[in-house]
Structures are given as structure tokens and as C-alpha cells.
Amino acid sequence: MALTSDEIDRYARHLVLRDVGGPGQAKLKSSRVLVIGAGGLGAPLVQYLAAAGVGTIGLVDDDTVSLSNLQRQVIHGTPDIDSLKVDSAAQAILRLNPHVTAEPHAVRLTPENARELVRRYDIVADGTDNFETRYAVSDACFHERKPLVTAALGQFDGSLTTIRAHETGPDGRPNPTYRCVFPSPPPPGAIPTCAEAGVLGALAGVMGSLMAMEVVREIVGFGEGLVGRLLMVDARSMRFDIIRYGWDEGNPLNGSGSASSPTERNADPGS
């Protein structure tokens, strides 16, 4: 996909990067990214995806902007209070980069609508704040064969990983699913909400920016991705650590007993 003269000027700092260049920027322009959640993580994520020249950004969120959001959800401003977050984010995208198309979906993602939303896009970035949605997104990405970049925020900590569970790794084993690293959600009430516990505003910016960088790396195809690696960020000590995780053959999506497992796919139907 050719770049216009205005885009060549806009993306000049990408174009001189050997690992991005013209071919990489063309990939970004032709890509379609679905962002789940236009809040603390989604706000910086959307800004950097738009600035990077991602051609189409889908936005899924059914919430409206409130005053308490503005401490960390930097894509929204005081005049946007009571507006739908997806509309506010879409307007911000247009202001930042008119070459990017925003597709607002003012709905709550559920197991019932997740696959329909996910299948329209090339890659999904999940910045939601509840396990129910995270499992619905990750399951939909597996079934629709879409890569997933997913992050989470705590009070002073964050995590980030990439899931490509529909593919196999270099060793021929299936890549891990989200359920391999987080087999089941915590009991209700075990983890306090953001409103109850609080969150450091700038940390949301750090994690959302890291999500954007991982999405760009996945689209362009450079560096070592985070498949099978969980990046942990501790804002108290300013530490970045990596925890490696692998495929759990007991997981319900591509585990040894599932319909999507290598054994089941290769089984003789008449045996």
C-alpha cells in the first residue's frame, strides 16, 4: 500500500528505521487493530497506534467518560465528560492523524459477540479491567486465529504478554493460550477494583505504550515477541522482569483433550 507525500513526511522517523522502513510502514497502514477498552490502558495505546499510522483502529467500550477517569485516561478531556469513550477516542484519533480510520463499537464485549467483533480485525489489543472479558477476548482470538496483545494494571504494577495460541512454536508444540498462564479467574472480590484500590496514573501510560509497541512489533515483524513471556513491571522499584510460561496440555482450547489439539486434529475419524 503506497504512502502519500504527507504520510512520508509524517512517518519519516519510522521510514529511516531499518527494521520498519517503507515496507513496515505500509504494513501498519494496511493493518486493522481492535482495541478492547478505551480507558487507562486503551487511551495511550490508541494514541500511539494512531500516531504510528495503523490504518484502521476499532474501539470497543460501552462506558462514558467520567471526571475520575481523567487522572490516567489521557485520550479524553474535561469537555468529553458524559460522552461515550469510543466517540471521544475516535475524535482524538482524527485530530492526531487524519489518515487513520476509527471504528467505534459502543458495546460491552461478551462471549456472545466477541468472535463477530474479533474476526473483522488482524490483531487484537485487550486493555480491559476484568477477567470475564479477558477470557472472552482470548477465547475468541483463538477460535478466529487472531494474535492477541493483552495487559493488566495493578496499583503500582502491570503485566503484558502476547498470545498466538492458534499457531505452533519452533519446537512443534502448540503456543500457550491465555488459560495456560491464567487457568482460572480469581474468586469474586479477591482482587479489588481500580476504584477501590487506586492506580498510579502514569503507570497506565507506561503499560499502554508498551502495548502499542508490542502491537507495532507484531504487525511489522521485528524483534523477539512476548509469546510465552510475561513482562512484569514494578513501578515502586522501577523493575522490569520476564516470567516464561508454556503450553499446558490440560487447557480447554488447544490442550491434549480438546477438539483443537494436534492429537485430535490428526485422529482417524473411523478409529
Give the list of residues 6+ apart from residue 171 with CB closer than 8 angstroms, or none. none
Give the list of residues 6+ apart from residue 90 with CB closer than 8 angstroms, or none. 59, 102, 103, 104
Mean pLDDT by 10 residues, the chain (271 residues): 93 97 98 97 97 98 96 96 98 97 97 97 95 95 97 96 95 93 82 83 97 98 95 97 95 79 40 28
**Buried b / exposed e along 136-162 (16+ C-beta atoms within 10 A):** bbbbbbbbbebbbbbbbbbeebbbbbb
Give residue 123's pLDDT: 98
Is the pTM value of this prediction over 0.85? Answer: yes
Burial-class residue 70 by CB neighbours within 10 Å (0-12, 13-18, 19+). middle
Give residue 258's pLDDT: 67
On whether the CB atoms of residues 176 and 245 are closer than 8 A, the answer is: yes
Sign of the CA dihedral 110, 112, 114, 117? negative
Give residue 187's pLDDT: 80
132, 121, 137, 118: which is closest to 177 by C-alpha? 137
Instruction: Specify the residue for cell string 496514573.
Output: 201
Give residue 261's pLDDT: 53
Give residue 76's pLDDT: 97
Instruction: Specify the residue for cell string 494474535.
Output: 147
Give residue 77's pLDDT: 96
- The class level of CATH for 13-187+195-264 reads alpha beta
Give residue 260's pLDDT: 61
Give residue 151's pLDDT: 97
On whether the CB atoms of residues 129 and 204 are closer than 8 A, the answer is: no
